[in-house]
Amino acid sequence: MSPPAEPSSPFLVLDRLDKSFGAQRVLREFSLTVERGEIFALLGPSGSGKTTALRLLAGFERPDGGEIRIGDERVEFLPPAKRRFGMVFQHYALFPHMSVAENVAFGLAGRAKEEIAERVAAALARVDLTGFQTRPVTQLSGGQQQRVALARALAPEPRVLLLDEPLSNLDPDLRERTRRELRQAIKGVGITTVLVTHEQEEAFDLGDRVGVLHRGRLQQVGSPEELYENPATPFVAGFVGRASVLEGLVLSRDDESGECAVMLAGTGQSGDPKVSWPGWTHDPDSALQEGDRVQLMLRPESLTLATTHQESAIRGVVRERRFAGPLTYYGIDLRIGMDPDAARREQVPEQAGVQIEVLASTRAAQPDQTVWVGYREGGLRPSLFPLLPEGADP
């Protein structure tokens, strides 16, 4: 019987990178591994450090500390030309006075004419632009220009492909189709790819794995499904998809499954019943225990909406409706801790609690209607996090 195969080493490694500009620390011990042939998407808001990470990879900036390795080769101090990385810039950086072939051949200077012609033809074939060699780039659509930029990056046969917000220059109606074409082209070549974007949909559609970056720290790395269903931090839960936050108190915890019973804050007052919903902590080392104050992160589709009183539900009022095709997003003010009959007798308005968002059928409720919001049994599991002090970094 043959011995088990040794696990393969990562192809691209970023190990504890640090980078500051003056007094501002932009990346903090940033570590990441990318497998050969993988498309890795680095997702984060403006100012998160994702563009700096890409510039360190490309060699346009040098790290203050840490290493960048391709296999066993350290490259963090090599100039860009010696790294053999291809890059597609946010605005493509095509030369408007050149033809498609001349743009693709720009990085092939110094080679024989026959080799240049062969590489240009091969690169254009990879992005489905065969026959476009003589066409002016100004006569191409935005999606076609994006593919010319990709072909130019691929023509020198780089070891790694870098993409900087690759679809931000396109109209929204072109992005979905171009995302499919771009992923298909990259996978067809089989090149290891790192892209940065602030668009969740772009990261999820293009990336085999996605890393979420916030304030220079990598918050979580995983498949799109893992990030959405099992967020590791409150920031990931709120940045990846839609999420509402309720505070509560842990009543009990199952250490094996990570499930907690959580009494929602504000319930059980002024005649309202106490309400407890389940929540899951995805951290196996979490120290959450009975009596701890927590945040419950809820996706809109994990909640139910009813116009009559329901057990284990919270009363609220519909404040807005946002039509989304077959379903509608409902913005609801929860009424927590105020008896409606007492409010009417005292001629004072009910006190609004927190706002929550529910995804339900288009005719489930009307604006200003009283509703009851509950947890959908068997639905997407609510995520649970310790309640952070005010001003703490999530």
Domains 12-238 and 243-386 share a fold: no
* Residue 85 pLDDT > 60: yes
If you average pLDDT over residues 306-329, what whole number do you get? 91
What's the CA gap between 380 and 300, in Å, rounded? Answer: 9
If you average pLDDT over residues 23-47, what whole number do you get? 95
Residue 4 identity (one-letter amino acid): P
* Residue 308 pLDDT > 50: yes
pTM of the predicted structure, to 2 decimals: 0.85
Q: Which of 126-140, 167-181, 218-232, 272-286 has maximum average pLDDT?
A: 218-232
Strand ranges (E), the chain: 12-21, 24-34, 39-43, 65-70, 73-74, 85-88, 160-164, 192-197, 209-214, 217-222, 244-253, 259-264, 276-280, 293-298, 303-306, 313-324, 327-334, 355-361, 370-375, 383-386
- Per residue in 338-377, pLDDT (tens digit) is 454 544 444 434 444 688 999 999 999 999 999 999 999 8
> Could you tell me the fold of the domain covering 12-238?
Rossmann fold (3.40.50)
| Residue given tokens 């701890």 in the structure block | 292
Domain covering 243-386: architecture: Beta Barrel (2.40)
Domain boundaries, given as residue ranges, for the chain: 12-238, 243-386
